[in-house]
Structure 1
Amino acid sequence: MSIPADVPSRKIGVKELRKAFWDRAEKSACTIFRWVLRAKSQDMTEAVKTRPALILAPHADDETLGCGGIIALKRQAGTQVTVAIATDGSASHRHERWLTTTKEQLIALREVETRTACEALGMSPEGVRFLGFKDSELANQVADLSEAILALIRQTQPREVYVCAEVDGHPDHVALAQAAHLAMQNLSDPRVDLFEYPVWSFDFRSWRHQGKTNTLGFLFGVRDMMRTAFSWRMRSVSIGPVLRIKTEALYAHRSQLGDYPQEPHWSGLPDAFLDHFLRNTETFRHVPPVQKGSE
C-alpha cells in the first residue's frame, strides 16, 4: 500500500496546531493573571506621586516596562526618582547572530538607550545609575548587590523602593529581588516601602513546570500563578495621562525591540508580551516589611 503524499504535511500541521494551542493557552493564562492582579489591587496613584523613589532594574528596559508610568508621574510632580540598572547588558542576544556590534559597543548602546528612555520619562542624567554587574550572573553576586542597593538607599533616601518580582523566573530578576529584600531587611526602616513589579511573570515560562507533560506542566503552572496572584497584596497606579510618554520611553530601547538596523538578526520582545505593560494601569506587589533578624 502506498503512503499518501500529504502525510508529512499532515504531521507538520498537527505539530503546529499543538504549538499554537499551547501558545494561546499560556498567553491566556498570563492575561488572566494580569486581570486578577488588577482586580484585587488598591489604587495608590495620588499617594505615591510625591514620595521619593528608588527604581531597581535588573536590565536596561525593565525600569520602563515595570515602572515607566510611575516614574513619569513622580517626575511631573517634581519628585526625586533614582533609577539603578543592575547589569551591564552584555548578555543580550547572546544566542543570536551578530554582524558588527562588539560586546563593549552593546554595553554602551544599552546605556545610551536607557538614558534616552529615562530622559523621556522626565529623569535627569544624575538620577540614572549603572551598577555594572555582569549580565546573566547576578545569582552569584547577591551579597555584593545587596550592599550596593543598601548604599543607594542610604544615599538617596527614598520612601519607596521598586524591584522586579522574585517570581519572575529569570535568574537575574530573582537575584535582584532577593538582594533588594536583603537590603531592606538590613535597613530596617519602616518609613521605606518595598514594592515588586512583575515583568517575566507575564511570560508563562516563569510558571511552567519542567519535566512534565505539556498538560501537567501547564496545569501546575496555572495553579502556582493563581496562588501567587491571590496571595499578593496588590497596589495600582493609574498612568493613563502619561501612557504616551511611557510608550515613547519604551521604544527608546531599540536593541530590545528588534529595531536596531545594524543588527537585523536580533529579535525583539513580542507584541503580546509588551501589551501587558502598555496599559492605563501599572500594578505592584506591596511587600510586607521584615525586621532584621526575624525569620
Structure 2
Amino acid sequence: MKAVVIQAAMRTLPPAPLSAIVPGRALILAPHADDESLGCGGLIAACCAAGRPPLVVIVTDGAASHPHSGAWPPPRLRAQRQAEALRAVACLGLTPDHLVFLGLPDAATPHEGPVFEQVVNHLEQLLQTHGCTTIIAPWRADPHCDHEATWKMGVALQRRCGTALLAYPVWGWLLPADTELDHRLPTGMLLDIAPYRALKQRAIGMHESQYGHLITDDPTGFSLPAALLDMLITDFEVFVEP
C-alpha cells in the first residue's frame, strides 16, 4: 500500500480521550532526544496535567547528529542533547525523575542480539518499577534505523509483558507519496492536543542543537526540516495500533 494512502488514513483516525489511549501510565520510547517532543509532546503534557506523568526513555546518546564538528565532539554533544531533553520535558510538565537516558550509540541501535536483549531486560524493569500500562514506541515505518530498532524493542517488551503497545509516527510523515509499504490501513486513535500545542512547540524548540544555528562548523550536520515540524506541530497526535 502506498505511503500517501496510509498517511491520509492516519490523519483521519477517530479521536479518543486520553483515558482511552493511556488508561494508566505510559512508557514512552524515544530513539533520540527530540523524538519524545516531536511525536508525543502533547501526550506527555496531557498525562502530566492528568496527574499520570509518563516515563520517557531516550534510547541513543544523539552524538552522531554532527559528526564533522570540531567544536562539538561526541562527549560535548551528548551532554548538550541530554540537557536539551531535560529542558524540553520540563516544558511539558515532566520532572527529571521520569526521564531515563540509555546512552546507546546514535545511528547504531541494535535490532537483535545480546545488547538488544539487555536493553529489553532493562526496559522491563523500568516498566514494572514505574507501573506502566502502555508502551508507546516509534512507528515501524519510520525510515530511520534507530526508530526501527526502538520499535522492535517495544514489540519485544510487549510480547514479554503483555502490555498494550501503540506507535507514533515521526519521519514516516515525510515518506514519498509513492513509497510502497507492507502495511494495511492503520487503526488507532487521535489525541486532541490543542490545549498543549504551544507547550509542545516550546519543548521542540528546546532541542536547539537540532535546528542548525547552535552548531555551525559542520555543514553536513542534521537540522530539523520545516516540513517535518509543519506535520507534527498541529492540534492532534497520532497513535497507531500494531
Of 37-46 and 78-87, deviating more is 37-46
Aligned counterpart for 2:123 among listed residues 149, 159, 168: 149
Q: Which has the higher helix share?
A: 1
Equivalence map 1:64-213=2 (5 Å) = 64-94=37-67, 97-139=68-110, 141-188=115-162, 192-204=163-175
TM-score, length basis structure 2 = 0.89
SS of the aligned residue for 1:228 comes to: coil
Aligned counterpart for 2:11 among listed residues 32, 38, 45: 38
The residue number in structure 2 matching 1:255 is 209
Separation (CA, whole Å) in 1 of partners of 2:47 and 2:90:
13
SS of the aligned residue for 2:141 comes to: coil
Q: Deviations over 1:167-223 (max 9, x none)?
A: 2121111111111111111113xxx3211001111122xxx6xxxxxxxxx74x1x4
Deviation, 1:44, is 3.2
Q: What is the root-mean-square deviation in Å for CA atoms of aligned residues?
A: 2.2
CA contact (8 A) 2:36 2:56 kept: yes
Question: What is the identity, as a one-letter code, of the residue corresponding to 1:260?
Answer: L
Separation (CA, whole Å) in 2 of partners of 1:78 and 1:42:
21
Distance 1:251 1:30, change over 3 A: farther
Distance 1:50 1:121, change over 3 A: farther
The residue number in structure 2 matching 1:23 is none
Aligned counterpart for 2:29 among listed residues 56, 59, 65: 56
Distance 1:93 1:30, change over 3 A: farther
The residue number in structure 2 matching 1:245 is 199
Q: Which runs of 5+ in 1 are unaligned?
A: 1-28, 209-217, 288-295
> Which structure has the bigger radius of gyration?
1
CA contact (8 A) 2:44 2:53 kept: no
Deviation, 1:31, is 6.8
Tell which has more relative contact order, 1 or 2 (C-alpha 8 A, sep 6+).
2
CA contact (8 A) 2:72 2:215 kept: no
The residue number in structure 1 matching 2:229 is 274
Q: Percent identity?
A: 29
Separation (CA, whole Å) in 1 of partners of 2:144 and 2:23:
31
Separation (CA, whole Å) in 2 of partners of 1:229 and 1:64:
27
SS of the aligned residue for 2:172 comes to: helix
Separation (CA, whole Å) in 2 of partners of 1:127 and 1:180:
18
TM-score, length basis structure 1 = 0.74
Of 106-115 and 167-176, deviating more is 167-176
Separation (CA, whole Å) in 2 of partners of 1:49 and 1:286:
12
SS of the aligned residue for 2:239 comes to: strand
SS of the aligned residue for 1:276 comes to: helix
